Amino acid sequence: MPAVSTKRLSYHIADQFKESFSETDPSRLYVFVGRSSPYANDSSASTPTDTVQKQDYNIYKQMLAAKKVQETDVTYAIRRYNWANNIGYTEYTNTNTNLYTSQFYVYTTDNNVYKCLFNNKGANSTVMPTGTSTGLLQTSDGYQWKYMYSVSTADIGKYVTADYLPVKVVTTNDSSGQFTVQQAAVNGAIQVVDVTAGGVGYQTTNGVFGTVSNSTVMTLASTASANDGVYIGSTLYISSGLGAGLIREVTSYTGSSKSVTVNTAFSTSPNTTSRYIVSPKVTIAGDGTGATAFANVTDGASSVNYITMISTGSKYSNATITISANTTYGTGATAVPYISPRNGHGSNAREELGGSFIMLATEFNGTESNTISTTNDIRTFGLIRDPLTSTGAVANTGNFDMTTRLTLSGATGDFTQDELITGGTSGATGNVVSFSNTNSANSTGTLRVINITGRFQNNEVITGSASSKTATVRPASNSDLSFYKGDVLYTENILPITRATDQIENFKIIFSF
């Protein structure tokens, strides 16, 4: 049977994953780093594969260190679309099945996020939106934008990538401006009406009233039509001055005197400084209330060009538009209204912008309390869930050394980083991470090793394949976390990162739901 999983299922799953970090009994996730030895071609990262052998076993042997992901390391995320000049952006519609794979919002150089509500009939954007007003932002290129939120300086450094931006769910006021936008959102508002056909023969006129007899009868400017009845069925909209924002239907018009009568008295009567627009009547019908608009007619073509909202109304879940006038003077114009998302534009930036992504961002700073070497390259990172310590306890502290430590004596010198060592009795092998010698002769100390095959035996002699140095192995210390006891959820191979004592690496993992 035909079926569809809605975007809200993705949000739900993402919610469950994010909430797992703050529950009473939370999941314990750790970011691991590893693979100090080169790829076959170290200028190209090899592609990891998901097999039992590689993800349940081999991956542990490459690990250098693991660090716990904190609740503050997790955020919702959206795709990043930078505003660029002369690009056409998709306008929001409540019926677009491809909305969340379209560029219908932008990230600007001001670190603000704006949703495109109107793209000027498919034109390219040439003016970057600015400002943090909670109202509709209209730029001089005809685009209309909705400010959604600002990305903080802290979040830019921690979460922003070339492809993704952080987005939050906020319940109190903060520096992002998002809470203010949420408070101003109107459920079921109609902020944009798109003209789908302009029609022909429509009449329009505008100017300043010549006289105002009362709140229902006034005369238009001398430029108005001399034909009787031409504006009957159209609307008279006061665009500025006394009575601005009010609109009424024309019920009578005398061409010789330019006298016009409206169906209902203006609640604030205009005067001779009030400007007006006469244009076809726009009727908005639906299950909401309060939405009103007027039509803009192109004089030369006598067709409806744009619909301008006077009041966006509220609580619409469906709506239709009818454009009408004296049928002798105009017909054929059609338009569609775009209803805001549930609870209004800006009420939930995460859901409105398709934030079904979760980003984890964890930093490795220097040695991380002596749990990771600063002299080794890193070529792999990933995520483990609920690992156990070497004693079998549930891991719950900050960071862990994942190398195996071999206590050496009688070393004939320093071992070379990444070289292969081999046990003379056991035949076991491993790659050198570092050698912490404890005397000037480099004859004793601790050798940290990864990629171990086999099992080194006490008192056997090991030999370095590159340095040819030898030493006797004394009792060893295993890695801080038990191998194979946590679920590997994610692995990523990257080009080599050369570490340094004063360097911070920020590892970001994006999950799409």
Whether residue 397 lies inside any domain: the answer is no
Amino acid identity, position 478: N
Do 148 and 267 belong together in one domain?
Answer: no
Average pLDDT score over residue span 41-57: 88
* Closest by Cα among 493, 462, 505, 438 to 67: 505
Same domain for 87 and 114?
Answer: yes
Under the banding of pLDDT at 50, 70 and 90, the label for residue 301 is: confident
Judge whether residue 39 has pLDDT over 80.
yes
CB 287 within 8 A of CB 305: no
Distance in angstroms (rounded) separating the CA atoms of residues 444 and 414 = 10
Same domain, 140 and 28: yes
What pLDDT score does 46 carry? Answer: 86
Residues 181, 286: one domain? no
Radius of gyration of the chain (CA): 34
Host domain of residue 43:
1-185+340-392+480-513
Do 210 and 309 fall within a single domain? yes
The pLDDT value given to residue 232: 96
Q: 321, 338, 355 — which closes off a domain? A: 338
At 478 the pLDDT is: 82
Distances (CA, A) of 466 to 110, 419, 425, 441, 444: 53, 6, 19, 19, 19
Q: Are residues 16 and 94 in the same domain?
A: yes
500: pLDDT strictly greater than 90 = no
Tokens of 327: 């049928």
> Does 228 fall in a domain?
yes
Say yes or no: 154 and 53 in one domain: yes
Same structural domain, 328 and 259: yes
Over residues 463-484, the pLDDT tens digits come to 999 999 999 988 677 889 999 9
Is the confidence at residue 58, as pLDDT, over 80?
yes
pLDDT value of position 475? 67
The confidence score (pLDDT) of residue 441 equals: 73
Asked if 411 and 446 sit in the same domain, the reply is yes
pLDDT of residue 422: 96
pLDDT tens digits along 260-286: 999 999 999 999 999 999 999 999 999
Amino acid sitting at position 410: G
Segment 181-225, tens digit of pLDDT = 999 999 999 999 999 999 999 999 999 999 999 999 999 999 999
pLDDT at 501: 85
Averaged pLDDT score across all residues of the chain? 93
Does residue 241 fall inside a structural domain? yes
Query: Do 333 and 363 reside in the same domain of the chain?
Result: no
Cut 0.95: pTM above it: no
Residue 293 belongs to some domain of the structure:
yes
Number of domains in the chain: 3
> Do 45 and 132 fall within a single domain?
yes
Rounded mean pLDDT of 447-459? 91
Residue 90 lies in a domain: yes
